[in-house]
Structure 1
Amino acid sequence: MNVGIGLPVGDPAVLPEWARRVDRGPFSTLALLDRLVYHNPEPLVALAVLAGATSRVRVQTEVLLAPLRDTLLLAKQAATLDRMTGGRLILGLGIGGRDDDYRVAGTDRRSRGRRLDEQMAVMRRVWSGEPYGDGDCPIGPAPARAGGPVVLFGGFAPAALERVARWGDGFLAAAAPAFAGRLFDTVRGHWEEYGRAGAPRIVAQVNAALGPQDVIDDARAAMGAYYSFTGMADRMVAGMLTTPGEIRDAIARFADLGADEVMLYCYGLDPEQVDRLADVV
């Protein structure tokens, strides 16, 4: 079982220190969330910096809100980061649910799922080296992996789960083990329906904070603020894992469900959490 770290978004200046500690530890991946109308760092820019501060771990968006972005520029940015990191980029994509993100981007929220499908068709074409239009040169650079970086999709709706098999390489599941199994089975079923070889990569996500009470309080406050728009922030914060036993149990339960990786998402800013979590895993 691989274990990664989701980085806090409250202060971009602390992220290089987090990344260096993750790279030294037993972790497989570091990841960043995405919002537009918030004080989080822009994920692709931040991950480019963090890739330069590390040499081993994968860098992952979880999830990048693709419909807010220009498709061709996103394809070029992803290919560039993938190539310059030697294939360490994992492009986690989703559609999000905040009205304000779509409003300020001037993008229609109601058609965001359809737009993501259209974007994937274009990006796959760009990453394969085909010209975008008649008489145009290909849009480079070529990504490190033929066909483009690894693409994972997050979401809960039926269309999101089916999208994994149609366009992706795997699934990002922000759900507790009690609910995740059904999602995993649905994704695997679509994978078989589409005749895809092998199996989808399954990445689970849990929220964690480890340390003295002030660290846990900081994490709870930051997570509550991040998800306040849902109207369910208190319930989500209550599910945060704050003891070594809880974290080990969640990892074991996801392993039993066949997950390939578990991402431990941290909202508190204290980078010593990385070393504490390393002792746990």
Structure 2
Amino acid sequence: MNIGIGLPIGDPSLLTAWARRADAGPFSSLGLLDRVVYDNPEPLAALAVLAGATSRIRVQTEVLLAPTRDTVLLAKQAATIDRMTGGRLVLGLGVGTRADDYSAVGADMRTRGRRLDEQLAVMRRLWSGADHSDGIGPIGPRPSRRGGPEVLLGGFQPAALERVARWADGYLAAAPVPMVAGLFDTVREAWREHGREGRPRLVAQLNVALGPQRLLDEAREALLSYYAFTGAADRMAAGLLTTRAAIRESITALADLGADEVVLYCYGLDPDQVDRLADVM
């Protein structure tokens, strides 16, 4: 099983240091979350910079709020990063739950699921090299990977899980370990019902912080701030894994459930966590 690093968002100027350390270590991917109305770096722009600072590690959006973007430009941006990195982009997509993210860009939150379905159909067509429409030619560049970048979808509702089987290469489960088994099983069943060959790639996430007490306090404060809108911030902070034993135990549990990759999301800013997590592995 692969292990990725989820990058902290509190100071974008530190992310190159994080990326280079992870690229030199045993990690498989660099994950970056997305919000519009928040003090976080825009993920495609940030990951393009980090891809240029690394040589082998994948760069992964977890998850990009696709319905807040223009579809054609998103397809072109993703294809560009994928082509320039030799296929290292993983495009994790979702719809989000914050109304202000949609209001800020003038998008309709009520239709976000339907819009994501439409976006996925358009992007798949454009990545194949087909014309945009009658009288409008193809939108390049052609991605490095046939069919476009690897697409993972996040979400918890039945429609979101079924969408994985219709459009994606796999599923991102940003959920506590006890919930993951049911989510994975639902995605696998939908995959079979849609007659998909092979099996979906399954990715799980853990929130972690590893270091001195000041770092743990910093990470908890960051978690509380980020999840304040959910009404469950205290529960999220209580689930932060802060010991080597707890991180190992949760990784093992997710491996037993069939996860192909576990992304360790770090909320403390100290890049030394990359080395500490490598020791855990």
Please state which band the TM-score falls in when normalised by the shorter chain: over 0.9
Who is 2:237 aligned against? 237
What is the CA-CA distance between 1:71 and the residue it aligns to? Answer: 0.2
Who is 1:173 aligned against? 173
Confirm whether residue 263 of structure 1 aligns to residue 250 of structure 2. no
Amino acid at match of 2:117: D
Partner SS, residue 35 of structure 1: coil
Who is 1:191 aligned against? 191
What is the CA-CA distance between 1:218 and the residue it aligns to? Answer: 0.6
What is the CA-CA distance between 1:233 and the residue it aligns to? Answer: 0.4
Partner SS, residue 60 of structure 1: strand
**Aligned residue runs from structure 1 range 12-161, under 5 A:** 12-161=12-161
What is the CA-CA distance between 1:110 and the residue it aligns to? Answer: 0.7
Who is 1:162 aligned against? 162
Confirm whether residue 224 of structure 1 aligns to residue 224 of structure 2. yes
Who is 2:208 aligned against? 208
What is the CA-CA distance between 1:212 and the residue it aligns to? Answer: 0.4
Give the structure-2-normalised TM-score. Answer: 0.99
Give the structure-1-normalised TM-score. Answer: 0.99
Amino acid at match of 1:36: V
Give % identity: 71
Amino acid at match of 2:67: P
Number of residue pairs matched by the alignment? 281
Listed as ranges, the gaps of 5+ residues in structure 1 are none
Listed as ranges, the gaps of 5+ residues in structure 2 are none
What is the CA-CA distance between 1:223 and the residue it aligns to? Answer: 1.1
String of CA shifts for 1:98-141, please: whole Å, max 9, x gaps.
Answer: 01101111111111000000000100010000001112221000
Tell me, in whole angstroms, the C-alpha distance in 1 between the residues paired with 2:152 and 2:243.
29
Tell me, in whole angstroms, the C-alpha distance in 2 between the residues paired with 1:272 and 1:128.
41
Partner SS, residue 35 of structure 2: coil
Moved over 3 A (4+): none
Please tell me the root mean square deviation across aligned C-alpha atoms, in Å: 0.5
What is the CA-CA distance between 1:57 and the residue it aligns to? Answer: 0.5
Partner SS, residue 237 of structure 1: helix
Tell me, in whole angstroms, the C-alpha distance in 1 between the residues paired with 2:97 and 2:233.
14
String of CA shifts for 1:141-163, please: whole Å, max 9, x gaps.
Answer: 00001110000000100011001
Partner SS, residue 132 of structure 1: strand
String of CA shifts for 1:26-83, please: whole Å, max 9, x gaps.
Answer: 1000010000001100000000000011001000000000000000000000000000
